[in-house]
Amino acid sequence: MPIPTTPQRLLSLDFMRGLIMVLLALEAAGLYDSLSQATENTPFFPIIQQLSHHPWHGLRAWDLVQPAFMFMAGTAMAFSLEKQEQNGMTRGQSLKKTLKRCGWLFFWGVLDYAVRKSGLSFELWDVLTQLSFTTLIAFLIYRWTITAQIVACIALLLLTEALYRLTHVPGFDQPFTDQHNFGNYMDLLLMNKINHGGWVAINCIPTSVHTIGGAMAGKLLLGQKPHKTRSLTIWGASTLLLGYVLDWANITPIIKRIATSSFTIASLGYSLLILALCYWYIDIKDHRRRLKFFTIIGMNSIFIYLFFEIVGHRWFNGYAAAITGGLLQLINTPSIPSAIITSLTIFACEWGLCYFLYRKKIFFRL
């Protein structure tokens, strides 16, 4: 019997993961807020607005970050599961490993928002908490046929539509109205609070489609079928168009904060198209130079995410701002340029930390 080959590392996936983490780290460092202030009342302001979430009905570039993150998690899971199978792991062993990973994702996701100045808090809105659910769903149906997985995705989206449209809880019976929809009601049941930004915990139901879609894309890239880029592009364009048609036809509005079915489908389309482009340019055309800047931070994505979310927000950002701000005051630097320099300094320190771990071959995994 021929010895099965281990799935090759997908460099385009490493790049995409790294790019997402760079964007998230810059946001956590406060760069986009400073750029927004600097460009207010200028022609550049609409461009910088793309680096923030849409307030409700609509879609901005920043709204694609979480879907792409969850999509990439599914693609990476496909490569991991194929490797586990080739190494002789049974499905039960893979399930145990996945459950452990999901448990840690849930733990760190809850811990991210648990410690507040006012005391402890229990919240389920973090991307890691959401990912703990979507990863398990994607794993459980991974061995199904492509057709069966697509049917499962449709079922998840229809379930979301039914929950919002067909449940009539007094005060929460307006499907697509902020603070008055079924997702807000479920948050009251689960956490006894409603997110003032409109985010809801049951987003994990529709966004499971992102992780399942990522896993199916990973299966495609692992397979022997030709024209993989073309297949990704066709699926991406089709889902993108479908998502926007649902919105344009006034069937279901595109709302990121409650992950409506139209938003989920459209953002999945964007994720597929981005993967197709990166796969074609990096893995097929072999353009691999200058990727290291992104892959270094992407290889420790969970670690750096927790670092800038927990350590950065609660201590490091303020500490760094006190130092850089004090030094820049000595040369009378205006407040906005000073804030931009501070944000870039914070990011440089975080990237340097990832580089140190990379040089020491230390990679944190869940």
Q: Report which of 237, 321, 221 is spatially closest to residue 8, judged by C-alpha positions.
A: 221
Q: Has residue 87 been placed in a domain?
A: yes
Global pTM exceeds 0.75: yes
Q: What is the pLDDT of residue 4?
A: 43
Structure tokens at 2: 């021929």
Tell me, yes or no, whether 48 lies in a domain: no
pLDDT band at 234 (very low <50, low <70, confident <90, very high): very high
Residue 237 lies inside a defined structural domain of this protein: yes
| Residue 225 maps to a domain | yes
pLDDT tens-digit series, residues 143-172: 999 999 999 999 999 999 999 999 989 999
Q: What is the pLDDT of residues 57-102, one digit of tens each?
A: 999 999 999 999 999 999 999 999 999 999 999 999 999 999 999 9
- Total of domains in the chain: 1
Is residue 55 assigned to a domain? no
Question: Taking a C-beta distance cutoff of 8 angstroms, is the pair 170, 117 a contact?
Answer: no
Amino acid type, 168: H
User: Partners of 116 in the beta sheet?
Assistant: 119
The 10s digit of each residue's pLDDT in 112-143 is 888 777 778 899 999 999 999 999 999 999 99
pLDDT bin (cut points 50, 70, 90) of residue 263 is very high
pLDDT tens across 20-51, in order?
Answer: 999 999 999 999 999 999 999 899 999 999 99
Q: Name the residue range of residue 242's domain.
A: 11-39+60-359
Residue 19 covered by a domain? yes
8 pLDDT band (50/70/90 cuts)? Answer: low
Gap between the Cα atoms of 45 and 294, Å rounded: 26
pLDDT grade for 6, boundaries at 50, 70 and 90: very low
Instruction: Classify residue 330: in a domain, yes or no.
Output: yes
Residue written as token pair 């970050």:
65
Give strand ranges (E) for the chain: 115-116, 119-120
- Taking the C-alpha atoms of residue 174 and residue 251, their distance in angstroms, rounded to an integer, is 15
Let me know if residue 47 belongs to a domain.
no
Question: Nearest 5°: CA angle at 213, between 111 and 219?
Answer: 110
DSSP per residue over 214-235, as a string?
Answer: HHHHHHHHHS--S-HHHHHHHH
Whether residue 142 contacts residue 217, with contact meaning beta carbons closer than 8 Å, is answered with no
